Structure 1
Amino acid sequence: MKNSKWKIALFAIIFGLLTMVLAACSSESNSGEGNSTDDDGNATEGTEGEGSSSGSGGVLNIGLSSNAATLDPTLYTGTYESQIMRSIADTVIVYDKDLQSMVPSLATEWSAADDMMSYTFKLRDDVYFQQGEYQDGRQMTAEDVKYSLERSAENSAQNRLSGVESVEVTGEFEVVIHVEEPNAALLAMLTDQGNIIVPKEEVEGWGDQFGAHLVGTGPFILDEWQTDQQVELVKNENYWGEEPNLDGVTYKFISDASMMTNALRSGDIDIATDIKGQNREVIEQDENLDLLSTPGLSITYLDMNFQQGPTANPLVREAIYKATNIEEIVQGVHQWGGGTVANGPLPKGSWGYDDSFESLTPEYNPEEAKEILDQTEYAGGFEIDLYVLETRKNYATIFQNQMKENLNIDVNIQVSEWGTLTETISSNNAPMNIGGWSWYPDPYFFLNPRFHSSQHGSNGNGKAYESEKVDELLDRALTETADQAERAELYQEAVAEILADHATIEFDNLDIATGINPKVKGFNLSPDGSIHVVSPNGVNISIEE
């Protein structure tokens, strides 16, 4: 089951507390889920609260900004689908509400081998699958964990469990996961919805239709799916964890942003997701609603070609960086809020972020920038292409004006659709490009895909950035240690090197924003955008009558 793509590790969540063995007891846990983005914190206000042990009933209506195509964990590609899957099925471990550590779910405790080549998980013995078409709600065992994780490692459309060699059953409720190379990212991968535990009978019985008939061990059961409209879930009376406060959850697909806001205002939905632009203001001004917003795990950036063209010259890159008024760009793009100035390639929601990054980020100084450019063969300005999606053209336009005014650089904005853009970038044919990167808290998923030399030819490092020092630091953080604090120090050293090379200009951290009816209690706004209705991390949403 070798998987040579393990270093990419797409769409995984990660933390490094791999050597700790955590004892589980779901009733004692506290309240509480990237990737290059095509288009497009845990601070909660007003509605945050601890889950209640007494159910209040009712059905929670949640608006999702895109349709779900499949709920098969090996086939799903969108965050919208994962929101639904999270309520139906469980992973072996989950993040706590603050995205700072792991807490038990189907696994009660776990540990990493000294050589980081295997990880042992002890499982709960009181978990039962929901009743389906091909099994009657039988007990979950280690064989189900082996089947589900190996299925993901072999077949995941998004490589959500890369680097796993095999899963060994060492007891009825114990498994050992063997990896191809030391990999401190494994725990994070296991929190991804692509690695939920499912019964083999249902997968094989439904075949290609399993994605429309997902069966798991979660707090809610898939009841009805109205194509392009909504998915209805009902309470699982045999759920192993804390009893859900709700009778059910309905996820409604509302792709139009204004219609989403109107549905919240009219009471058709209780939670509206992906709130942006002017709709933020509309909800904020409605005294019957709350807008919850927190910096998310998402960055918008401008990459400069590291190997060819004018920006292959480090002085040119430095001049461009210092001639860029990032605050002006962020204010211009986010006139209704929703974004904050970024300080380097790690978002503030990552545990690798450090306040020192702000002092390492070059300051806006157009006079100094011109002096630096005049030291190069490009003194007096030049012409360069900037590739961007239509949805990010507003960033490009402001940047274009700044370059002309400050350095007499003529920036030609090349608006491209997603496929063309990624092909141009990955083939190192984009002199400059504006992109977005959205992932999970572990720095690995922000830094390795965008800055490790092994990723040349990918969309993340199409700029062909290369630094032996950065490669060394990133490799050590992944393979040498499982201690989160030690890994954070290595990643912070790498960020300092990256900032000194001026290969990229980070514009903003995008906010995760949700509109909510105050009658919803216990909701937790997460920087990764995940919505937990009931979770082993302590979240248990209720509706106040």
Structure 2
Amino acid sequence: MNKGLKNLLMILLVFIFGSCGEKTENKKEIKTLVYTMAVEPITLDPYSVTDVYSRRVIKNVFDTLLESDENNEKVPSLAKSWKYLDDKTVEFKLNKDIKFHNGETLTSDDVKYSLEKAKESLKVGYYFDMIESIETPDLETVIIKTNEPSGTLFTTLAHAASSIVNKKDYENNKDKKFKPVGTGPYKLTDWEVGSKLVLEKNSEYFGIEPTIEKVEIKIIPEDNNRVIALQTGEAQIAFDLSASSLKSLENERDINIYTVESLGTNYLGFNTTHPKLKDIRVRQAIAKGIDMDSAIEVLFEGKGRRSTSILGPKVFGYKENTVPNYNTEEAKALLKEAGYDGNLELTLATGNVNISKQFAEIFQYQLKEIGIDLKIVTLDMGALLKETSNQEKSELFFLGWSNSTGDADNGFTANLHTVNYGIGNRFFYSNKEFDKLVDSGKNEIDQNKRLAYYKEAQDMVSKDLPFLPVSVIMYNSGVSNRIEGYKADALGYLKFNTLKIN
């Protein structure tokens, strides 16, 4: 072999093997998916969760008996089948050989224990009021009896609050917030508070096998910084984006943008028992003193939608309601009737994400015109939820409700029913007639009758005005075109095991 040819072959070999090594390294690097969102989860104990940010992670770590498909129909998950034994009794058959992250095998005892723990919870127990008893005739059979024919049992069993835990672990786990043990496609391996959570794939998952080895969920409150992370390749998915941020990504060839109307709404809440707010004329004046349509037009750049209910328009039971019209003169007159003539001071608590702060500033500016001096207090999500549960301190607050079942009961019972007074019902609103309508809807299986109950309930709330609906929550996201299988979800969830990195 001549020297020139030998040198050429050596160069080719170096190139070939060097390239192979480089490709392998690149492949290793992209096995980690980086997903960014604005707010950090509060806890990963499924029976202590009321926020969508925590549930986004919980839905990847735990499973439920049933799941909701794209049309909000219920499909098998841990339960492979179910049937009615009578109109108040349902029998579920579990899939076999499902493993928890600690190696334990799922049994009907775990299901019974989990649902009973959920029912005992002060945070989510109201979802399970319809359950009278749970029987486990064998390790793969669960029989649930309800106290009345239930129109909400199946939606509840697909909810994150119905996540199934390992009985042995949960009884002995002193750090449920940070060390959850589920059956889900991913398991939590690290949580750097204030920074990120790390999930690693569950190689024994019974469902769609994850192809992505590791997921980093980075907490980046500032909208612009989430966009930059996506543009620079630091992240592959940026969630919770504003309309302006989404617009800035329109010309990015390597990034796909998604917008989906969620099932939830943003609202301006009133502590209806506070001395300054218990007079409905004050609440009406505030509602009339805000030009909500203009605020939405500006903040969502023409792509927002006014809300008229605690329910999103896609939720079963939704009804378009009449909201107070913008009229500053009528607002001033109402305040004067209530004993305030340009001298009302109020405090508004809001979250630390951009859209919340922007709405708060607009409210502050507009209410000044009718004689209300509004002080804004910005808090992180955990502190905000705690603050608004304090009946003595809370006044006004800006929050959102992300309906997580697609059913009206989820919005009404969680936020407005007396059973949840001071827990999820931060308005401290109590109306026995309203409660009766909601309970009737929950205990009815005829869908037309349920609709009638819920529409009447919405009319009642609209009249009592414990909150002012603001806007329908829009879920905006930017996604690298290297990600396959991404689907915008109206619930705000993303199952990482359905994704692939191209």
Tell me: CA distance 1:165–1:338, structure 2 relative to 1, closer, same or farther (3 Å). Answer: farther
Tell me: CA distance 1:275–1:337, structure 2 relative to 1, closer, same or farther (3 Å). Answer: farther
The equivalences for 1:287-436 within 5 A come to 287-304=253-270, 306=272, 312-315=278-281, 317-332=283-298, 334=299, 339-354=304-319, 356-357=320-321, 360-366=322-328, 369=330, 373=334, 376=337, 378=339, 383-389=344-350, 391=352, 392-405=356-369, 408-413=370-375, 415=377, 417=379, 419=383, 423=387, 426-427=390-391, 432-436=396-400
The answer to whether the 8 Å contact 1:453/1:471 transfers is yes
Aligned to 2:68: 95
What is the CA-CA distance between 1:61 and the residue it aligns to? 0.6
The two structures, once aligned, show a CA RMSD in angstroms of: 3.9
Point out the structure with max Rg over C-alpha.
Answer: 2
Structure 2 SS opposite 1:387: strand
Tell me: CA distance 1:292–1:214, structure 2 relative to 1, closer, same or farther (3 Å). Answer: same
Write out per-residue CA displacement over residues 444-502 of structure 1, whole angstroms, 9 at most, x where no aligned residue: 2322343334554456243x4444432331221123x0344432331122112222334
The yes-or-no answer on 1:145 pairing with 2:111 is yes
Aligned to 2:163: 196
Identical-pair percentage: 24
The yes-or-no answer on 1:477 pairing with 2:441 is yes
What is the CA-CA distance between 1:345 and the residue it aligns to? 2.2
- Amino acid aligned to 1:410: I
Ranges in structure 2 where 5+ consecutive residues have no aligned partner = 1-29
Aligned to 1:451: 416
The answer to whether the 8 Å contact 2:42/2:54 transfers is yes
The equivalences for 1:58-137 within 5 A come to 59=31, 61-65=33-37, 71=44, 73-74=46-47, 79-98=52-71, 100-111=72-83, 116=88, 118-124=89-95, 126-129=96-99, 132=102, 135=104
Tell me: CA distance 1:428–1:486, structure 2 relative to 1, closer, same or farther (3 Å). Answer: farther
The yes-or-no answer on 1:252 pairing with 2:217 is yes
The equivalences for 1:160-175 within 5 A come to 162-163=128-129, 164=131, 166-175=133-142
Tell me: CA distance 1:82–1:60, structure 2 relative to 1, closer, same or farther (3 Å). Answer: farther
What is the CA-CA distance between 1:346 and the residue it aligns to? 1.5
- Amino acid aligned to 1:102: K
Cα distance in 2 for residues equivalent to 1:119 and 1:318: 46
The answer to whether the 8 Å contact 2:282/2:338 transfers is no
Structure 1 SS opposite 2:496: coil
Tell me: CA distance 1:62–1:492, structure 2 relative to 1, closer, same or farther (3 Å). Answer: farther
Query: Of 237, 246, 249, which aligns to 1:280?
Result: 246
- Count matched residues: 463
- Amino acid aligned to 2:142: V
- Amino acid aligned to 2:350: L
Structure 2 SS opposite 1:146: helix
Aligned to 1:486: 449
Aligned to 1:527: 490
What is the CA-CA distance between 1:431 and the residue it aligns to? 5.4
Which TM-score applies when normalising by structure 1? 0.71
Cα distance in 2 for residues equivalent to 1:313 and 1:86: 41
Tell me: CA distance 1:486–1:181, structure 2 relative to 1, closer, same or farther (3 Å). Answer: closer
Query: Of 496, 507, 510, which aligns to 2:459?
Result: 496
Aligned to 1:233: 200
Q: Bigger CA drift: 176-185 or 493-502?
A: 176-185
| Larger helix fraction of residues | 2
Cα distance in 2 for residues equivalent to 1:249 and 1:91: 22
- Amino acid aligned to 1:189: T
The yes-or-no answer on 1:542 pairing with 2:497 is no
Q: Bigger CA drift: 88-97 or 194-203?
A: 194-203
The yes-or-no answer on 1:506 pairing with 2:464 is no
Cα distance in 2 for residues equivalent to 1:532 and 1:434: 29
Tell me: CA distance 1:199–1:498, structure 2 relative to 1, closer, same or farther (3 Å). Answer: closer
The answer to whether the 8 Å contact 2:418/2:425 transfers is no
Tell me: CA distance 1:145–1:504, structure 2 relative to 1, closer, same or farther (3 Å). Answer: closer
What is the CA-CA distance between 1:144 and the residue it aligns to? 3.4
Cα distance in 1 for residues equivalent to 2:481 and 2:311: 33
Cα distance in 1 for residues equivalent to 2:459 and 2:58: 38
The answer to whether the 8 Å contact 1:113/1:119 transfers is yes
The answer to whether the 8 Å contact 1:295/1:339 transfers is no
Cα distance in 1 for residues equivalent to 2:418 and 2:186: 45
- Amino acid aligned to 1:149: L
Tell me: CA distance 1:285–1:475, structure 2 relative to 1, closer, same or farther (3 Å). Answer: same
- Amino acid aligned to 2:228: N
The answer to whether the 8 Å contact 1:276/1:338 transfers is no
Structure 2 SS opposite 1:505: strand
Write out per-residue CA displacement over residues 398-449 of structure 1, whole angstroms, 9 at most, x where no aligned residue: 33443443xx333332526575885576426655444433332222232234
Greater relative CO, 1 or 2 (CA 8 Å, sep 6+): 1
- Amino acid aligned to 1:542: K
Cα distance in 1 for residues equivalent to 2:118 and 2:418: 27
